[in-house]
Structure 1
Amino acid sequence: MIGRSRATPSGRAPEVVLDDLLREQQSRFADLDPGLPPAVLPPPGDVIVVAGEGSEAAGVLTRHSWPAGSAPLLWSAAEVTELHPVLGSAGLRGAEGLLAEWRARIPARVRHASDSAAVVTWPSRDVVASRAFLDHGLVPLAVLAVRRPGPPVPPPSPDPHLRVRRAREDDLDGCVELAMHEIAYSSLVGGSVMRAEAEAVKRTALRERWARDEPIWVAERDGRMIGLLECGFTDASPGTWLAGLLPVGRWGYVNCASVLPGRRGQGVGHALVAAALPGLQPPGARGTYLYYNPPNPVSSVFWPRHGYRPLWTLWEIRPATALR
C-alpha cells in the first residue's frame, strides 16, 4: 500500500489508478522532453485521485520536517508538504483538481507553521501544468538544469591576473566566506534562507567534501580569493530518488557558485566553470547538473550561456497555507 486514499471517482483501487496513469505519464514524458528519465511511481504517502475531463489524475502527498541545524534548511522551509503528481494525460483540469485537493489536505503541522512551504517538482517543458501551478499561487523558484558532456565555453577575454586552482583545506575560511555571500544573495532571489547556523553548516559541508576528495575550485586575484565553485559527483542508480529526475548513470554537479560582490560580471565565474567542467565529465559520465533560481538575474543568464538547460522546475509557495 503506497498510502491512504479516499474513494476514487471510478471506484477502482488507488494503486490500480496510479499504475495505469504511470504508463500514460511515461509516454507523455517521452514525448515532452527526450532528456527526462522514464516516469516512476511517487514515494510512499497519501494517495489522492481526482476526475478531470473524462479522465482521472492522481498524486501522492508527502511531508518533511527538517530539524534545526540540518543542511536542507539552508534552501528549504522547516515544514514541507509536497505533491507528486501522476497526471497521465489528464492535462490542465487534472492538475487543477490535484492542486485543489492538495490545499484541502495540508497537514496540521505544516498548516500551523510559519516556516512552511508547499512544493511540487515537474518537467520544465510541461507548460500546461505550469498554467495550473501559477493559477494556484506557486512560484517557479528553482530549476534542475542539465548539461551534456562537451567542452567548456572559452572565456571571452581571459584575465591574465586571475588565478584559478583547486582549493586546499587551509582555504576553508575563505571558502566559507564566499559560500555565505552566495546564500545571502540567493535568499533575495530564491529559496535560500540565511539562518543563524548557516556558517557552521557550510563549514561542515565543505570539510566533508574535502574528505570525499570532491573538487572545490577557487579564483584568486591580487592574492585574495574572489570566487568559489563547489562541485561533486553522484550516481543516478535505479530505484534512487535521483533516478526519478535524471537518466541512470554517473553525473557531476555544481553545488555552490559564488563570486564576491564587486567582482561579479568580470569573468570570474566563467573562468571557474572552464577550469572545473573537464573534470566533472569523466569518460562515461552522462553530464553535469545543478540548481539555479529563475528569479536570479545573474544565474538565470549565466548557466544557460554555459550550456545548461532546465529539465525540472521546482514550484513552491511559502507559507504552505498561501496555496490557492
Structure 2
Amino acid sequence: MDIAEPLLAAHRARFAAVDALLPPAPPPADGERLDAATADGTQVTGVLQRHRLAPGDVPMLWSAADTWQFFPYFGDTGTEGADLLLRALKGRLETEETGDDSACVVVWPSRDAEAIRAFLDHGLVPLSAIGVRTAPPAGAEPGVTIRRAGPGDFAAALELAVATFDYTGLVAAPRRDNTAELLAPSLRDALAEDEPAVWLAEEDGEIRALAHCAWVDTLPDTEAGELLPTGRWGYVNNVVTAPGERGGGFGRALMAHVHRELHRGGATRTYLYYNPTNPLSSVFWHRQGYRPLWTAWEVRPAAALR
C-alpha cells in the first residue's frame, strides 16, 4: 500500500516520540485504503483489512470470527486526524453486513493519549494489551514448590488453562464452547519437549498454578518484530492460579521462578498479552513489573463503532 512519504515519515516520528521502546514503524499494511483531510487540508490515511476465522482456528480463543482491523496513519494531526479516519471507517462498515460475531480492532501504542481520546469517542475499548518487562529477575519466593511440567501433567494443566478462559470470558472476549479443544494441541506439544517451557506451582503435592511460556527471537520484517525491539524475548503465554487459590502468592512465586528460567534461556526481557478490563491480571502484571506497550482497541460487534 502506497502512502504519501511525508505522512509516513510523520507516522514513524509519532511512534518514536510516544514510546522509546517501540520498534521502528513498519511499511504500510496491505488492504483497502480510506482517506480523509483535516480542517487545514492535511491528508490522513487508513488501511482496512478483514480477517475471517473458522470455529477450529486457535485465534478464536481471543478474536471475533470476522475481524475488521484498521491501521490509521494520521501523523502529527493528533486526535483530529484519528477521529476523521474512524469516521471514515464507520461509513465504510455501514456498507457491510458485519454480523454479531464480528469486531473492529485498532492496535496502537499504549501511551498515545491523543489517539486514546478518539478511540474512546468512537466506542472502542482497551480489550487487550501487550505488556513488557525489562527488569532483571527477582529472587526466589520461599514456601512454594516450582517444577517443570511434563506429559503426565497434561490433564491437570489443560484444566487450569481452560480456567483462564472461564474467567476472561466474563471480563474480556467471550468464552468459546470449544475452548479445551483449541488449547489442547499446543499444550500437549509443549509438554512433549525435552525441557518444556511450562512450569507448575505446587503445595502439599497439589498443583496450584501454571505458567505456559516460550522463547521468541524477534527480527525486523517479522510479525513479532513489528511489535517488539529486536532480540531474544521470553513470552509468557498463559499464567493461571487455580480458582479458590488466587491471592495466596502462588502466581507471584511461580513468576519469580519463571522469570529466572527465561533469563537463563537468554531472554533479558519478557512480554505477554493481558486484558486491561480484567480486575485480576491488570493489577497482578503491573505489580510484576510489566507495563503496556501496545493496546488493542476493539468494539464488538463491528457495527457498534460510533
Does the TM-score normalized on the shorter chain lie above 0.5?
yes
Q: Secondary structure of the equivalent of 1:118?
A: strand
1:286 Cα deviation from its structure 2 partner = 5.0
- CA distance in 2 between partners of 1:254 and 1:179 (Å): 13
Q: What is the count of residue pairs matched by the alignment?
A: 304
Match of 1:116 in 2: 102
1:141 Cα deviation from its structure 2 partner = 0.8
Amino acid at match of 1:307: G
* Structure 1 residues 284 and 167: CA distance shift in structure 2, 3 A: closer
Match of 1:80 in 2: 67
**Structure 2 unaligned runs (5+)?**
none
Match of 1:56 in 2: 43
1:282 Cα deviation from its structure 2 partner = 4.4
Match of 1:205 among 168, 173, 186: 186
Q: Secondary structure of the equivalent of 1:29?
A: helix
1:196 Cα deviation from its structure 2 partner = 2.2
Q: Secondary structure of the equivalent of 1:194?
A: coil
- CA distance in 1 between partners of 2:139 and 2:101 (Å): 40
1:211 Cα deviation from its structure 2 partner = 4.4
Match of 2:159 in 1: 177
- CA distance in 2 between partners of 1:219 and 1:133 (Å): 39
- CA distance in 2 between partners of 1:22 and 1:286 (Å): 31
Of 98-107 and 260-269, deviating more is 98-107
- What's the CA shift string for 1:155-211, capped at 9, x where partnerless? 4xx3x2x321110111000000001111011111112x3222211111111012234
In the alignment, is the contact (CA less than 8 A) between 1:53 and 1:90 conserved in 2?
Answer: no
1:33 Cα deviation from its structure 2 partner = 0.8
In the alignment, is the contact (CA less than 8 A) between 2:168 and 2:175 conserved in 1?
Answer: no
**Structure 1 unaligned runs (5+)?**
3-14
Match of 1:217 in 2: 199
Amino acid at match of 2:19: D
Amino acid at match of 2:258: A
- CA distance in 1 between partners of 2:67 and 2:216 (Å): 25
Match of 1:102 in 2: 89
In the alignment, is the contact (CA less than 8 A) between 1:59 and 1:85 conserved in 2?
Answer: yes
- CA distance in 1 between partners of 2:197 and 2:3 (Å): 45
- What's the CA shift string for 1:79-130, capped at 9, x where partnerless? 0001111121111111001101111112866x33210000000011101000
Identity %: 44
In the alignment, is the contact (CA less than 8 A) between 2:98 and 2:302 conserved in 1?
Answer: no
* Structure 1 residues 223 and 214: CA distance shift in structure 2, 3 A: closer
TM-score, normalised to structure 1, is 0.89
Match of 2:209 in 1: 227
- CA distance in 2 between partners of 1:108 and 1:70 (Å): 27
1:285 Cα deviation from its structure 2 partner = 3.5
TM-score, normalised to structure 2, is 0.94
Of 127-136 and 216-225, deviating more is 216-225
- What's the CA shift string for 1:262-286, capped at 9, x where partnerless? 1000100001101111122347645
Of 63-72 and 285-294, deviating more is 285-294
Amino acid at match of 1:263: E
- CA distance in 2 between partners of 1:271 and 1:41 (Å): 41
Match of 2:123 in 1: 137
In the alignment, is the contact (CA less than 8 A) between 1:152 and 1:273 conserved in 2?
Answer: no
Amino acid at match of 1:291: Y
- CA distance in 2 between partners of 1:128 and 1:185 (Å): 32
Q: Secondary structure of the equivalent of 1:264?
A: coil
* Structure 1 residues 102 and 282: CA distance shift in structure 2, 3 A: farther
Alignment of 1:260-279 (within 5 A): 260-279=242-261
- CA distance in 1 between partners of 2:297 and 2:191 (Å): 32
* Structure 1 residues 108 and 168: CA distance shift in structure 2, 3 A: farther
- CA distance in 1 between partners of 2:304 and 2:265 (Å): 46
RMSD: 1.7
Q: Secondary structure of the equivalent of 1:307?
A: coil
Mapped pair 1:70 → 2:57 = yes
Mapped pair 1:311 → 2:293 = yes
- CA distance in 2 between partners of 1:31 and 1:195 (Å): 39
Match of 1:128 in 2: 114
1:226 Cα deviation from its structure 2 partner = 1.6
Q: Secondary structure of the equivalent of 1:266?
A: coil
- CA distance in 1 between partners of 2:266 and 2:236 (Å): 18
* Structure 1 residues 174 and 66: CA distance shift in structure 2, 3 A: same
- What's the CA shift string for 1:22-67, capped at 9, x where partnerless? 2112212211111111111232101122111422221110010011
Amino acid at match of 1:215: A
Q: Secondary structure of the equivalent of 2:93?
A: coil
Amino acid at match of 2:83: E
